[in-house]
Structure 1
Amino acid sequence: MTQADISEELPDYIDTDDMDEEGGDEGGQLYEHYRVVADKGQQLLRVDKFLLDHLKDTSRNRIQAAAKAGFIHVNDKPVKSNYRVKPFDVVTLLLDRPRYENKIEAENIPLDIVYEDSELLVVNKPAGLVVHPGCGNYTGTLVNAIAWHLKDDPKYDPNDPSVGLVHRIDKDTSGLLVVAKTPDAKTKLGLQFFNKTTRRRYNALVWGNLADDEGRIEGNIARNPRDRMQMAVFDPSSGIGKHAVTHYKVLKRYGYVTLVECVLETGRTHQIRVHMKHIGHPLFNDERYGGDQILRGTQSSTYNSFIRNCFAICPRQALHARTLGFKHPKTGKEMDFTTDLAADMVALLAKWDKYIEGIKA
C-alpha cells in the first residue's frame, strides 16, 4: 500500500447516506495494509503522530478516524489515537477489504445520465450496480462505466482521486449520484456535502404503520460490535459513532407497510436503513437489517404468498435516492434533480395498492 493509497483509504469525512460496502466486508475480517515496527530507540509517542510520521501523504484526522473505527492495531490489539508507541511495538493498519492494487479500466456499461456539462454529470444508478471497485467487485462498477463514458475526455483520469464520485449509495439502492469531472468541481461539491448544504431526499418502503406523519430520528451510527456487516445506533451521549439525523415524512400508508420520504441532515453509512430499523420500521426486503422477513400482517398462507411475491418483484431493500440538489461548482447556480422511482419499486407499490384495494372491497 502506498502513501497515496492511505490518503484515499481514510477519508476526512463520510459524505453519503450509505457508503457502498457491498463486497467490502468479508464476514468482518480485517486485512493488513501497512506495518511498521518501532525501533529500540523509540520515544513514547502517540500512535496517531507516530503513523503521521510514516505516512506523509495522509492527515492526522484520517489516522484518528481509522483508530476510532478499530483499524489501527498495536501488537495485534486495536488501540485508540492516544496510545503511546514504545520501542519494538508492531503498529499495523488493517482495513475491512484485502489489499488490491488495480488500475480502473473503462468498461462499456450502460449509464442513465440525467445531466452533464464540462464540470460534472448526474447519474441515475440502477439497483444492483456497485458504485466503486472493492473486495469481490473489482470490475463492472459505476466507476468503470463512468471511465468508459469519459474515455475521450483528456482531462478525466479515472485513477485520479481528485476527480470522480463525490458521494456514494449502496449497491442495492437506486437513484441519483453526482460525479465531478475536474478537481475544482470535486473539491467544491465535496465541501457542500461536508457542510450539509446539499439537498437529498429518498423514498423508502418500510415495515409497519408509523405512529406519526413525520418525525426526526437522531442517534450516533457506528459499526455493530456484534455483527461487523451491520451498522448500529448509539445514544449521542455515549461518545460512540458519528452524529446522525434523519427526517422522515409519511407519503402513503398501506397498513402493514408505509411509504416514506427521508431527508438526510447528515450522511452516514447505511443511515436510513439503520435509523429506520432503530425505530422499529426496517426497510422492506432489507436483508442486512431484517427487513426480508414478514414483520407485519396476517398469518394466512395467502398473505405469506403475497409478501414472497413482493420480495421477488423488488429483490432488494426498497430505497431510492429520488432527489439531489447542490450549487454548481463553477456557476454557483442552484441545481435540483428528480428521478422517477426505479421500476421494481413502482411494481412493488402497485402490488400493495392492489392488495389494499382488495381488502377494502
Structure 2
Amino acid sequence: MTRRPPEVDEDAILRVLRVPPECEGMRLDRFLPLELRATSRSRAQAIIKASAFSEDGRKLRSSERLKAEQKIYLWRPPLDEEPPREPIGHIYEDDHLLVVNKPPLMTVHPTARHHKHTVIRTLERERPHQTLSLIHRLDRETSGVLLLGKSTEADRAFKIQLEERSLAAARAADLGLPPERADKTYLAITHGVPSEGLCDLPLEDDPSPLRVKVRVTERGRGQSARTTVKVRATAHGYALVECGLHTGRQHQIRVHLAHLGAPLVGDKLYGPDEGLLARAADGQLTEEDLRVLELPRHALHARSHTVRHCFTGQIHHFVAPLPADLRTFWLDRGGRADDFAEPASA
C-alpha cells in the first residue's frame, strides 16, 4: 500500500515496519515497543489506535496477532509543530562549511517523531536553493557546535577527516598509547564531582529493553572509548565539567560520567531512573519526575570543535557559548559567571 488511507491527514508521515519470523504470533502492542525506541506499551497502544494500518489499508488493533514478514504501516502526524524556543546560531561560514550553534531540544535531522522543526529542515527553509548535509550529529537534547557541509565534496572530505581521527584515537586506545589533545570539548553539569583525568573504559550495548542504552564493559570487550575529564568548578554538590572527546561513541560522555559517579543533571537514561525516558516520550512525566530531573534536558553542551579545513588547510577553533538554560541553572546553584570562560590556551 502506497496510497494514504482516506482517514489519514495529508501531512502524516509513513513508517513501515516488517515483522521478522521470530515475532510471528506476537500481539501488535507487544511488537511495537520492540521496534520504536523508548516507547512504553501504553504509548504503543495509543499509536496503534491512531495510526496503524495493514498493507491493504485495514485499521489494526492492539490485540492483532502478527504473521511473519507482515508489514505494519504507521501513518503518524509530526509531533513538533511548535517552533523551537531558540533560533539556530551561526558561528562560521565559507564556500564549503557552515558551523552553527544548535539549540537544545532540537533534532538535527527529520525522524518519525520530529519532522518539521529540525536543524536540517529549518536551514533548508532559510536557504531554499542550497544543499546542506550534516558532517556529524548531536543528540536532540545536546546543544552546541555543529558542522554542516555545503557541497557533496565538502561533506565527503570533512567526514573522512573526522572518521580518520576517530579511528586513530581508537587505535591509540587499543595500544595503550597516550591520547592526543581532543578536538572536541563539551561542558557538562553533573550531580556530584567526577574523578579527573582520562576515562578510557570501553563501551558496549546495554541489554535494556529500551534498546538505546550503552554501558561500560571490561577491557578487551566492546568499543574503545576515551574521555578526558576536568572539573572546572563545583557548587553545592554540583560540578561544571569539561570533557575532551577523543572517540565519538554513542552517549560516551554521559556513560563515562555516570560510571564515575557524576551523572548529568537532567539525564533521563543514565540518571536516577531509566524509566524517565519512556515517560518523557509518552508525555507522562510527573511533578516528582520533573523535580528529580531539575532540567527538561540533559546538561550537556558541545562547547568547542577544532578542525583543519579540508580545502584551505587552516586550523579553525569554533566555540559556542553556553546556552541560557545551563548558565542560569549553574548561577542559581551558586556557581560563578567566570566558570564558563574559555581557557586562555584554547
* TM-score bracket for the superposition, by shorter chain length: 0.5 to 0.7
User: Aligned to 2:146, what secondary structure does the other structure show?
Assistant: strand
Residue 184 to residue 340, structure 1, CA distance change in 2 (3 Å): same
* Superposition deviation, residue 111 in structure 1: 2.5
Quote the residue 1:121 is aligned against.
98
The reply to whether residue 315 of structure 1 matches residue 315 of structure 2 is no
Quote the residue 1:236 is aligned against.
219
Quote the residue 1:252 is aligned against.
233
Quote the residue 2:173 is aligned against.
none
Quote the residue 2:262 is aligned against.
281
Structure with the bigger RCO (C-alpha within 8 Å, sep 6+) is 1
User: Aligned to 1:331, what secondary structure does the other structure show?
Assistant: coil
Counterpart amino acid of residue 128 in structure 2: K
Q: In structure 2, how many angstroms separate the alpha carbons of the residues matched to 1:291 and 1:263?
A: 24
Q: Indicate if the aligned counterparts of 2:229 and 2:241 stay in contact, CA closer than 8 A.
A: yes
Q: In structure 2, how many angstroms separate the alpha carbons of the residues matched to 1:113 and 1:217?
A: 32
User: Aligned to 2:108, what secondary structure does the other structure show?
Assistant: coil
Q: In structure 1, how many angstroms separate the alpha carbons of the residues matched to 2:165 and 2:74?
A: 32
The reply to whether residue 219 of structure 1 matches residue 201 of structure 2 is yes
Residue 222 to residue 265, structure 1, CA distance change in 2 (3 Å): same
Poorly superposed stretches of 4+, deviation over 3 Å: 26-29, 307-312
CA RMSD of aligned residues (A): 3.6
The reply to whether residue 25 of structure 1 matches residue 9 of structure 2 is no
Structure 2 unmatched runs, 5+ = 1-34, 42-67, 76-82, 167-181, 275-286, 337-346
Structure 1 unmatched runs, 5+ = 1-22, 30-75, 77-89, 101-107, 157-162, 294-304, 356-361
Counterpart amino acid of residue 144 in structure 2: G
* Superposition deviation, residue 223 in structure 1: 2.4
Residue 135 to residue 224, structure 1, CA distance change in 2 (3 Å): farther
Quote the residue 1:201 is aligned against.
185
Q: In structure 2, how many angstroms separate the alpha carbons of the residues matched to 1:233 and 1:246?
A: 13
* Superposition deviation, residue 309 in structure 1: 7.1
Q: In structure 2, how many angstroms separate the alpha carbons of the residues matched to 1:279 and 1:263?
A: 15
Give the alignment of 1:37-116 within 5 angstroms: 110-116=87-93
User: Aligned to 1:237, what secondary structure does the other structure show?
Assistant: coil
The reply to whether residue 147 of structure 1 matches residue 124 of structure 2 is yes
* Superposition deviation, residue 319 in structure 1: 0.6
Identity %: 31
* Superposition deviation, residue 193 in structure 1: 1.3
Residue 111 to residue 253, structure 1, CA distance change in 2 (3 Å): closer
Quote the residue 2:80 is aligned against.
none
Q: In structure 2, how many angstroms separate the alpha carbons of the residues matched to 1:346 and 1:133?
A: 28
Aligned counterpart in structure 2 of residue 179 of structure 1, from 139, 148, 153:
148
* Superposition deviation, residue 26 in structure 1: 4.3
Counterpart amino acid of residue 241 in structure 2: V
* Superposition deviation, residue 317 in structure 1: 0.8
Q: In structure 2, how many angstroms separate the alpha carbons of the residues matched to 1:280 and 1:170?
A: 22
Q: Indicate if the aligned counterparts of 2:303 and 2:321 stay in contact, CA closer than 8 A.
A: yes
Q: Indicate if the aligned counterparts of 1:292 and 1:311 stay in contact, CA closer than 8 A.
A: no
* Superposition deviation, residue 221 in structure 1: 2.2
User: Aligned to 1:289, what secondary structure does the other structure show?
Assistant: coil
* Superposition deviation, residue 138 in structure 1: 2.2
The reply to whether residue 133 of structure 1 matches residue 113 of structure 2 is no
TM-score (norm 1): 0.59
Q: Indicate if the aligned counterparts of 1:27 and 1:229 stay in contact, CA closer than 8 A.
A: no
Q: Indicate if the aligned counterparts of 2:193 and 2:231 stay in contact, CA closer than 8 A.
A: no
Q: In structure 2, how many angstroms separate the alpha carbons of the residues matched to 1:310 and 1:226?
A: 22
Residue 175 to residue 354, structure 1, CA distance change in 2 (3 Å): closer
Q: In structure 2, how many angstroms separate the alpha carbons of the residues matched to 1:277 and 1:24?
A: 25
* Superposition deviation, residue 25 in structure 1: 2.0
Q: In structure 1, how many angstroms separate the alpha carbons of the residues matched to 2:306 and 2:36?
A: 28
* Superposition deviation, residue 256 in structure 1: 1.2
Q: Indicate if the aligned counterparts of 1:127 and 1:174 stay in contact, CA closer than 8 A.
A: yes
Quote the residue 2:134 is aligned against.
165
* Superposition deviation, residue 292 in structure 1: 7.4
